[in-house]
Each structure stands twice: as structure tokens, then as C-alpha cells.
Amino acid sequence: MNGFTWAFARDLRIAWRHPGETLLVIAFFALVCTLFPLGIGAEPRILERVGPGVIWVCALLAAFLSLPAMFAADYTDGSLEQMTLSPHPMMAWASGKIAAHWAVTGLPLTVLSPLLALQYGLDGATLGTLAFGLLIGTPLLSLLGAACSALTLGARGGGVLLALLALPLFVPVLIFGAGAAEAQAAGVSPAPHLSLLGAGLLAGCVALPPAVCAAIRIALD
Amino acid sequence: MRLFRDVSFAAQAGEWVEVRGPNGSGKTTLLRGLAGLTRLEAGEVLWNGAPPRADEFRADVLYAGHAAGVKDELTVEENLQVALALRGITVQAGAFDEAIARVGLARRRRLPARRLSAGQRRRIGMARLVLDPAPLWILDEPLTALDADGEALFNALLEQHVAAGRVAVIATHQPLAARPAREVRLGA
């Protein structure tokens, strides 16, 4: 078993044993997405206008909720030391952990998003673009979040620091993700936005795992 | 900050080194430095007479620090399986069961680790010592939270480890049954 599959399988198993945290993130996403139409009122044109942006902001905040626990639990119980001292390269298991984080947060959010977007009266094509945007945007959120989460390991007031670090970094993902769905709704091609989002994801896949590793090393030193 | 200086020791095959010193004298830092977790400001660590290549050295070292690396959500046997898989060790089912029985967790093997006492969690770590053939143990206070029976078991494991021509560096406050080949004293 290589380091990636080891970490991925382990984290999924832990999430499965302790589903409260995952369900909390999903419930938060569903609830906040539902609160907006109730608060704004049933004006179809306004709902249609704000829908993609609101759903993206909710997804972003929901993904953020799960970040503090990403490495902190392994840091306090000594698992992170054991992983660092294992024969597997750190990059492999750190990437496995990030992938597992996406599988238990980003993926369910993506799957749920078209259903929640129905409340905003978005048409079929916009629903598809929104979900596709989330599909390539949420892994990038997990990657960015992992780097920030690893950087705040062992810091006092880590939660607030994490918000200050991660949320600004999420901004480009939000702009292009919501932009894609809005372009689709306005009858313009969403391709440029999605391309930029995809490019961001590729760049993140290459650049962020080493940053995560460096941050973990600093935390353990 | 300088914790210690002029510390030098070596262990031949079949020897173990005891690190002693008052609280805060740098025992943990020394062990973490040996394992490669903390960068030491000066000095070097040699393994088989040469500076070790990080990945090969990590496969040879079994490090157990203050925190046992046990996940609350997983059961006793899952914790052990996950720990062994991380080290890339495959064991036969028989040897696996035997190790769990030897550390006295046979009846609790399907219990999640959060239901275990501190000593029982330590025993999961001891099962790793039984199954992991790593030639170098670096152990930080391995007797913490263990009862008399657990201490006896640890002493037996250490004797077995050393008798097989392997090496250990152990920081401890309690005396161990086997006599160390060297004693490193840190602090005042």
C-alpha cells in the first residue's frame, strides 16, 4: 500500500466511524442555502440572480468549517509524527489526506448543490454549470485549506488565524466558480471561468502539497 | 536556546542506551533529533557508521513519543493494522492475533480506542513493538501509565529486541530490568 492510499483509506474510515463532523458540514450547507430564499422572499428574478453566488459562498463556508480538524487531531495524538517518520514520502500521505478531506466535504457539497439550487429557480444548464464548477472548485478549496490548516498547527487562536488566512485565498475560487454559473444564467459561455478554475486546480495540485509538507515540518520541529 | 551540549554516545548491535535527566533537560528533544523530527542546531547522527539517508533511516527506526498515535475512532485491531500498514509491514494473521494477546488486549480488540484506559492505549503501542522488526527503537518514556504487568512485558520485549542484535535508545525515569550499555545524562 502506498502512502496516498494508506492516508486516504484511513481518513475515510475515521470519517465513517465518526460521521457527525461530516454530517454537520453538509447540514450547515443545506440549512444556510435554504435560509436565503426564506429571508429574501419568493421573488423569482432576485433569487435567480443571487442563487449561484449564495450557493458558492455557502459551499465555501461549509468547506471552511471542516478545516481546523484536518491536521489538528493527528497533530495532538501523535499520528502526524508517526506519519512523518514512516518510510512513505510525506507528499504521498499529505496528498492522501487532502483527497480524503475533499471526498468527505467537497464531494457531498457538489452532489447536493443542484438539489439546493432548485430553490433559487435556476434552469437546468445553470444547475449543471454550478455543479461542475463546484466539482473542480472544491478540490482547490481543500488544497488551499490544507496549506492554511497545516500552517496554523500548534498556534494559539488557530481558528481565527485560519479564517484570516484561508478565506482571502478562497476569493478567486469564489469569483470564478460563481462567475461560471452566472455567465451560464446570462446566456454567455461559462468556459473562460471554468478554464481559469481548472487552471487554478492544476496549479494548486502542483504547488500546494509541498507547501503543506513544509508547514507540517515546521509544526513538528 | 541551548538545551544540551557535548553529548556523544554510540550503541553497538545488541546494546541499548538509556537517556536520563530531570524534566526539561532535553531528553525528548534529543530523541526527536535522533529520529529526525527536530533539527539539531549542531552535531550529527550516524547510522551504520554513515550519515543516514532519510527515507532508508525512517524505515529502520521505530519512534514512540509521548502521544501514542492511537486514533480514538478506530478499534484496537484497526489501530494496529493502520500503524503496521504505515510502516509497510505485513504480518501473518496468526502473529497479529498473538501480538494482541501478548499485550493483553485480546478481549478488547474490537473496542474503539476511546473506551480504553491510558495504560491500555500504551499497550497498543507495545503490540507494535512486538510486530515491528525495526532495528532501532527510539522510545520516550515507554513505561508511562503502564501497570507492573505491563512493565514486565516491556522489559521482556526489550530483552528480546536487544538479544536479537538490535539497538534501542530509551528515555526513562524508571529503572528497566535490562542493564543499559550506556547511560547518557542530560542537564545538571
The verdict on B59 touching A (C-beta cutoff 8 Å) is yes
Q: Tell me, rounded to whole angstroms, the distance of Cα A85 from its chain centroid.
A: 28
3-state secondary structure of B53: coil
- This prediction's pTM: 0.91
The verdict on B148 touching A (C-beta cutoff 8 Å) is no
Share of chain B above pLDDT 70, in %: 99
- Write the residue in B59, B69, B85 that is nearest to A77 by C-beta: B69
A18 contacts B69? CB cut-off 8 A: no
Q: Which of B63, B11, B18, B67 is nearest to B36 (CA)?
A: B63
Q: Tell me, rounded to whole angstroms, the distance of Cα A141 from its chain centroid.
A: 4
Separation CA A29–CA B163 (nearest Å): 58
Separation CA B87–CA B64 (nearest Å): 13
- Write the residue in B39, B58, B74 that is nearest to A86 by C-beta: B58
For range B21-31, the mean pLDDT: 88
**Number of C-beta neighbours around residue A199 at 10 A:** 12
A17 contacts B73? CB cut-off 8 A: yes
Instruction: Please classify residue B188 by burial: count the beta carbons closer than 10 Å to its beta carbon, then call 0-12 exposed, 13-18 middle and 19+ buried.
Output: exposed
What does the block give as the cell for A127? 444547475
Residues in B closer than 8 angstroms to A77, CB to CB, are 67-72
The verdict on A18 touching B (C-beta cutoff 8 Å) is yes
For range A72-88, the mean pLDDT: 90
pLDDT of A199 > 90? The answer is: yes
Question: Does a structural domain hold residue B144?
Answer: yes
Predicted local confidence at residue A56, as pLDDT: 94
Question: Does a structural domain hold residue B6?
Answer: no
- B59 → chain A, closest CA residue: A87
Backbone φ and ψ for A164, nearest 5 degrees, come out as -65, -35
A161, A155 in Cβ contact below 8 A? yes
The verdict on A214 touching B (C-beta cutoff 8 Å) is no
Question: Does a structural domain hold residue B139?
Answer: yes
Predicted local confidence at residue B41, as pLDDT: 85
Predicted local confidence at residue B53, as pLDDT: 84
Provide the angle, in degrees to the nearest 10, between the axes of the packed helices A106-117 and A124-151. 150
For range A38-43, the mean pLDDT: 86
pLDDT of A159 > 90? The answer is: no
B63 contacts A10? CB cut-off 8 A: no
DSSP notation for B5-43: -S------TT-EEEEE--TTSSHHHHHHHHHTSS--SS-
Question: Does a structural domain hold residue B4?
Answer: no
Separation CA B120–CA B141 (nearest Å): 15
The verdict on A81 touching B (C-beta cutoff 8 Å) is yes
Q: Ranked by mean pLDDT, which of A64-78, A203-217, B9-23 comes out on top?
A: A203-217
B65 contacts A77? CB cut-off 8 A: no
A29, A62 in Cβ contact below 8 A? yes
pLDDT of B155 > 60? The answer is: yes
Counts for chain A of helices (H) and strands (E), in that order: 10, 0
Question: Does a structural domain hold residue B2?
Answer: no
Q: Which of A142, A68, A64, A140 is nearest to A102 (CA)?
A: A142
The verdict on A10 touching B (C-beta cutoff 8 Å) is yes
A83 contacts B71? CB cut-off 8 A: no
What does the block give as the cell for B82? 493502520
Total domain count, chain B:
1
Question: Does a structural domain hold residue B110?
Answer: yes
Question: Does a structural domain hold residue B68?
Answer: yes
How close B38 gets to chain A, by Cα (Å)?
Answer: 4
Q: Kindly list the distances between the CA atom of residue A79 and the CA atoms of A97, A144, A198, B117, in Å, as whole numbers in the listed order.
A: 12, 22, 33, 18
Identify from B75, B76, B79, B82 which residue to disrupt to test chain A contact, counting A C-beta atoms within 10 A and taking the largest count: B82
Which residues of B, range 93-132, sit inside 8 Å of A by Cβ?
A: 112
Identify which has the larger pLDDT, B118 or A103.
A103
Q: Tell me, rounded to whole angstroms, the distance of Cα B10 from its chain centroid.
A: 18
- Which residue type sits at A54? V
> Residue A33: enclosing H or E segment and its boundaries?
helix A20-40
Q: Tell me, rounded to whole angstroms, the distance of Cα A135 from its chain centroid.
A: 10
A1 contacts B85? CB cut-off 8 A: yes
Identify from B71, B110, B121 which residue to disrupt to test chain A contact, counting A C-beta atoms within 10 A and taking the largest count: B71
Domain assignment of residue B95, given as a range = 16-185
Angle at Cα B107 formed by Cα B102 and Cα B109, nearest 5°?
A: 80
Kindly report the CATH number assigned to the domain that includes residue B114: 3.40.50.300
For range A146-169, the mean pLDDT: 89
Q: What digits encode the pLDDT tens for the residues B52-97? A: 888 888 888 999 988 878 888 899 999 999 999 988 888 888 888 8
Separation CA A177–CA A113 (nearest Å): 13
For range B122-138, the mean pLDDT: 90
A83 contacts B86? CB cut-off 8 A: yes
Separation CA B128–CA B80 (nearest Å): 7
pLDDT of B109 > 90? The answer is: no
pLDDT of A201 > 70? The answer is: yes
For range A89-102, the mean pLDDT: 95
The verdict on A2 touching B (C-beta cutoff 8 Å) is no
Q: Ranked by mean pLDDT, which of A30-34, B36-40, B140-144 comes out on top?
A: A30-34
pLDDT of A142 > 70? The answer is: yes
Residues in A closer than 8 angstroms to B37, CB to CB, are 81, 84-85, 220-221
Predicted local confidence at residue B188, as pLDDT: 54
Predicted local confidence at residue A155, as pLDDT: 80
- A6 → chain B, closest CA residue: B86
Predicted local confidence at residue A193, as pLDDT: 94
Question: Does a structural domain hold residue B7?
Answer: no
A122, A48 in Cβ contact below 8 A? yes
